[in-house]
Amino acid sequence: MPALVNLTEPFSFDQITFVVQGPIVANFQDGYTQRLTQTIREYFPGSTLIVSTWNGEDTSALDADIVILSKDPGSLFLDKEERYANNVNRQIISTVAALEKVQTRYVVKLRSDLIFINNQMATLIREYIHRQAKERGILSDYCIISNFTSIKPSRYFPFLFHPCDWIFAGSTSDIRKIWYSLECADVKTCSPEVSKYKGIADPQNFVLRPESFIWIQFLEKNSFFSLDKGRHELEMESEKSIFENLVIINNFNLGIRTQKIKLDKGFFHSGTIYNALTSNRVRRRLGIRLKQAVTIQDVKSEFARLLYPIYRLQMKFTQKLRTESARLCSVKNESAESQNPQKILTRSKK
């Protein structure tokens, strides 16, 4: 039986704490993190702002209520060549340290290189958390996340249990429940050597990505969760765990923008992630009554999803043409050199 929700209960910015976690990113004119803190002050006056970063970081330009400095645990490298840096431990330590200082009813945890472009986040908290009765799931209320890396499992991107970790907005008790469930990762935990994670490892570099590590640990600590299932069952379990507890919303509708990564403007990238249309379909299949409003951004994302197989074929064809062109160019150069013995002789003398 869903809990009764008081629709007349007042809601204001002073009920929200923003937790900015991660390094102080100081690129470009004013610095990413400084711009983020400025936009929080501009769009959410009266809210509390906590910055959680590392010893030695310069926080003097940040207008924060609380600054937390922790020892940097460093990146976790899961391959011998150290090509794939996994920063999940950094995220866990900085987030947990900040959550211990939160005293408001709601909290928005976000990475330090984002920026707000409006106060739509407060509207979403009011609609999906403050007033929305939740039917089932581990959390008491819904939490709001970005769709940017909330990947819809497919043959192109077969990632399971992969909700975006850029931003978590929800009741403080629920956000703590997620992050207090986590223990720092090590190479054994996130590498394919551990058999129980083989079925959901990143197929490109065969490691457990931070998003999956966070969500799976949360599920293991708070439910009768098991990975001892077939692929189809795991896909169903992945979507069930996500949509019973989270509301996935695109960055534009969240009122945020990434300052570092250009991919969030990519049309075809949006074809690999959840949108309001696909989310509503999944909820209907699972028997969850919550229905998200569909915006033009969601329609564009759905259009991209339908066209994505054609886009993949085009990319493969383009790559094949480039490879063949490079091969023909190489053959042509070798042929030209073989027909010019004087040039070969000159090169050998050098």
Kindly report which listed range (76-90, 126-140, 143-157, 328-342) carries the lowest average pLDDT score.
328-342
Mean pLDDT of the chain, nearest integer: 82
Structural domains in the chain, sorted by start: 13-307 (3.90.550.10)
208 against 278, higher pLDDT = 278
pLDDT per position as a tens digit, 75-114: 887 666 666 778 899 999 999 999 999 999 999 999 999 9
Burial class for 323, CB neighbours closer than 10 Å (0-12, 13-18, 19+): exposed
Rounded to an integer, the average pLDDT of 34-42 is: 95
pLDDT per position as a tens digit, 80-90: 666 677 889 99
For 52, the 3-state DSSP assignment is strand
Nearest residue to 150 via CA among 235, 221, 222, 249: 249
Q: Is the pLDDT at 4 greater than 70, yes or no?
A: no
111 against 269, higher pLDDT = 111
Q: What is the pLDDT of residue 7?
A: 45
Run of H or E including 344: helix 341-349
Q: What is the pLDDT of residue 333?
A: 72
Reduced 3-state DSSP string for 139-152:
CCCCEEEECCCCEC
Nearest residue to 141 via CA among 100, 98, 106, 110: 106
C-alpha span between 278 and 305 (Å, rounded)? 10
Run of H or E including 288: none
